[in-house]
Amino acid sequence: MLAKRPPMGFNTWNTFGGNISEQLIIETCDAMVEKGYRDAGYKYIVIDDCWMTGERDKNGRLVPDPAKFPHGMRCLADYIHERGMKFGIYSCAGTRTCQGLPSSFGHEFEDARTFAEWGVDFLKYDFCNFPERADCKLAYHTMSMALKSSGREILFSACQWGREEPWKWMRSIGAHMYRSTGDIWDNYISIRDIAESQFENLPTNASGCFNDPDMLVVGMYGKGNVGDSENRVTDEEYRTHFALWCFMGVPLMIGGDVRTMDGFSKDLLLNKELIAVDQDEECRDPFMVGNRGGHRPVFIRHMSDGGFVIGMFNLSDNRAGMPFIFADAGLPYASGVGLRLTDLFTGEDLGVKRDYFVPVLEKHACRLYRAYLERV
């Protein structure tokens, strides 16, 4: 089964945009192996837009840009596979990609066969230049069928930016993940808005087909293709970003440069506890216990080991007490049952709590606790 758990990997777009090459992919692959990303679960290396030439060849096939990929895609796929990783590529449901290059509308089956021949394991399928009168759901279903008939298992990552409420139908057409929002930018407001927009759409985020609130911007610090140097994200905000994605149980696609990632960001992306939350096998969405002012959500998420993770996210612009009211989490005082709490970041044991507790969080900060039921 593909995408039993949220897919994890790296994608070129956030940092490199169209500035991609065989050399970059090889160096990225090496860095992912050497620095521990592969072993932490980041398996897919995905080449986004701008890998192809301006026209198809005389047989109607897509052609890798020879200046960027002089040895072609099969060779790159072999390199990646030999190192225990998986190879992803990009096309688009429209007539041209977002950067104006040839894409798959009307060519779905031949393109899927080409990708299979190249050893592709993952297709990101975008939505630019989609013909006005064509049927979006059908177009995604056509590519899904094309991939299934290609002779190779290829993960289908649909990217139509949340248009036509994909959480209601992407699972039914066989996608393994689907973008549910517009593009992320490397600033705090973008991170916050994207996360908040998906809280109510998470119930259908589940094994086999995941809601994809876009790639991570951790470690970009204002640089790169979607970098925002005027609104630099702080370490604390990157921590909240990554913790939110893990807590929601969504795909983790690194968008920063793994070759040069700073120590803080690397440790964050490799945080075993957070990754374990993201990859929990029951893939449950969190239950919202409260959300003061709309920007201070407090959740409890049921985990497969019979315990829970409590997530508190102070997304507001002020320091704030974040009340966790046990009665609102299904545990009234009279139940005689409390929760033993351990801080997921520090490992600190907070003992058994009941009734309520109110940690104070700085603006844009988060807390996560592992929690287990205990009689008191």
Q: Which residues are marked as active site?
A: 126, 183
Q: How far is the CB of 49 from ligand GAL (least distance, A)?
A: 3
196 sits in the region (left: phi over 0; alpha: psi -120 to 50; else beta) called alpha
Chain position whose Cβ is nearest to ligand GAL: 98
Should residue 95 be labelled a site residue for ligand GAL when binding is judged by CB under 6 A? no
Residue 62, helix vs strand vs coil: coil
Footprint on residues 223-282 left by ligand GAL (CB under 6 A): none
Burial grade of 83 (CB within 10 A; 0-12, 13-18, 19 or more): middle
Entry field: residues in the chain:
376
* Cα–Cα dist 185/201, whole Å: 21
Residue 108 corresponds to which tokens in the numbers above? 């779905």
Please identify which residue in 21, 95, 99, 316 interacts with ligand GAL, judged by CB under 6 A.
99
Segment near ligand GAL (CB under 6 A); pick from 91-99, 102-110, 309-317, 331-339? 91-99
Amino acid in the structure at residue 240: T
Query: Cβ closer to ligand GAL: 50 or 309?
Result: 50
Please identify which residue in 22, 126, 237, 285 interacts with ligand GAL, judged by CB under 6 A.
126
Footprint on residues 7-46 left by ligand GAL (CB under 6 A): 13
Residue 369, helix vs strand vs coil: strand
Segment near ligand GAL (CB under 6 A); pick from 59-67, 97-105, 344-352, 365-373? 97-105
User: In the stretch 179-218, what mask flags binding to ligand GAL with x, by CB under 6 A?
Assistant: ----x-----------------------------------
Q: How far is the CB of 22 from ligand GAL (least distance, A)?
A: 19
Residue 274, helix vs strand vs coil: helix
* Cα–Cα dist 257/65, whole Å: 22
Residues 6+ apart with CB under 8 A from 346: none
Please identify which residue in 159, 216, 277, 365 interacts with ligand GAL, judged by CB under 6 A.
159
Q: How far is the CB of 214 from ligand GAL (least distance, A)?
A: 7
State the Cα torsion 127-12-365-368 to the nearest 10°.
90
Please identify which residue in 98, 155, 170, 322 interacts with ligand GAL, judged by CB under 6 A.
98
Exposure class string for 331-351: b at 16+ Cβ within 10 A, else e: beeeeebbbbbbebeeeeeee
User: In the stretch 40-69, what mask flags binding to ligand GAL with x, by CB under 6 A?
Assistant: --------xx--------------------
Q: How far is the CB of 91 from ligand GAL (least distance, A)?
A: 10
Q: Residues in the site for ligand GAL, rule: CB under 6 A?
A: 13, 48-49, 97-99, 126, 128, 159, 161, 183
